[in-house]
Amino acid sequence: MTAPAPAERYDLVVLGSGPAGQKAAIAAAKLGKRVAIADASLDLGGACVHTGTIPSKTLREAILYLTGWLQRGSEGLAHPAPERITIAELSRRILLVVAREVEVIRDQLSRNRVEIVLGHGRFVGPNRVAVELPGGERHIEAENVLIATGSRPAHSATVAVDGERILDSDQLLDPKLADRPLPRSMIVVGAGVIGLEYASMLTALRCEVTVIDARETMLEFVDGEILEALVYHLRASGTVFRLGERVDSVTRADDGRVLANLASGKRVHGDALLYTVGRQGNTEGLGLEAIGLAADARGRLQVDASFRTRCPWVWAAGDVIGFPALASTSMEQGRLAACAMFGAPGNHMPHLHPYGIFTIPEISMVGATEQELTGKSIPYEIGIARFEDLAKGQMSGDRSGMLKLLFNPEGFGLLGVHVIGAGAADLVHIGQTALALGGTIEWFRDAVFNYPTLAEAYKVAALDGFNRL
């Protein structure tokens, strides 16, 4: 029987270099541990940097700038016509930002003495990982392993993604498509976060967008009033929603256009189709069977409150464990997993995690929604500030934004913050801090905010709340 290859020993081996893996590795290194990250890609950062968060949000910022969308309500300002914007122009900006992010990640890992092993890692036995290298395999003994391999777009047998006219969210931003003109019409199948983000971006470019989803309700975790406002703005911009509709098949017409055949008998035409129904965890090929673990049908792993799997020396964080699958929460999960491994203090506060959805207009939230409070029979009152009533809102041209505070009508304690409009994902952090400190809307009423700013909306909303009482 052949003896196993000699192996170096590490305190932590991380599989995957996305947000969860990076932060776990750095946290462990700062605790004086010997850490290695195994990733088969020369370009570190995972889907977050290369196909997901960074490219899509860079695309969004470029669209906002080039179309002048943020100043659409300001009179006397002229901006380029969206039809003159090319995919190549948008792609150039994305590639610059991605390259810079890879440099930042590599520098952070290097400064913290985290070893980078370029190869696909898999389990081959207890506390043992094999990394596939060009010249063979390198075996590593690991006291702990963190699985942070991320996810990819899920596919369906009814929608044959071809990378040309029928795309998933990774392919939409493929630089190889940069020489193509912007589609004049797009079918988006899936009204989740990714689908709505891209639908709103394409709508801002004056693309005719039809969103199809089998569910009757979108984004159930978002406050109902905020969601209604988002749908109103998207419809006003031309987006068509077909909810409660299932796609039976997708075909290509003779002229190259795409045809979506719905179960109801409807047929929807478009220049292209974007399929954004769910994500698939990247757990195949990890050798989970060698350590007695198995992923679910979506490739996700089950973990406990400290992000430990059923295998006591294996942990998992990020997209590979499912919802909320945000870069921000993945970073924190990775850090907390490393703290738990080595007995360092770490306070997990998922109820205070802010959610940012980068649609146009963007929405963000922290804390409870109205529907959650109603379902739990918790009394609450609301306070609202509309951006059109703020001097800064008039200056920026955002007359449709809104900030809503939910609070206890007895002790005035803050329960939730919900924002739609320009800068929502930044603005929500003021409310996040107040929630974390057990603040009340009295603080917002009495605070002095810079004028003119959108942050002043907190004071206006607090005063509105007291008026309702």
Give a three-class secondary structure readout of 334-396: HHHHHHHHCCCCCCCCHHHCCEEECCCCCEEEEECCHHHHHHCCCCCEEEEEEHHHCHHHHHH
pLDDT tens-digit readout, 340-386: 999 999 888 888 999 999 999 999 999 999 999 999 999 999 999 99
Question: H helices of 78-117, where?
Answer: 87-111
pLDDT tens-digit readout, 44-98: 999 999 889 999 999 999 888 888 776 665 554 445 555 567 777 788 888 899 9
CATH entry, 7-153+280-351, from 3.30.365.10, 3.40.50.1100, 3.50.50.60, 3.40.630.30? 3.50.50.60
Domains 7-153+280-351 and 361-468 share a fold: no
Helix (H, G, I), strand (E, B), or coil: what is residue 411? coil
Return the pLDDT at 71.
63
Q: In whole angstroms, give the CA distance from residue 116 to residue 137.
A: 15
CATH class of 361-468: alpha beta
Return the pLDDT at 70.
66
Return the pLDDT at 185.
96
Q: Topology of domain 166-277, per CATH?
A: FAD/NAD(P)-binding domain (3.50.50)
Return the pLDDT at 181.
80
Domain ranges of the chain: 7-153+280-351, 166-277, 361-468
Pairing of β 267-270 and β 258-262: antiparallel
Q: What is the CA radius of gyration of the chain?
A: 24
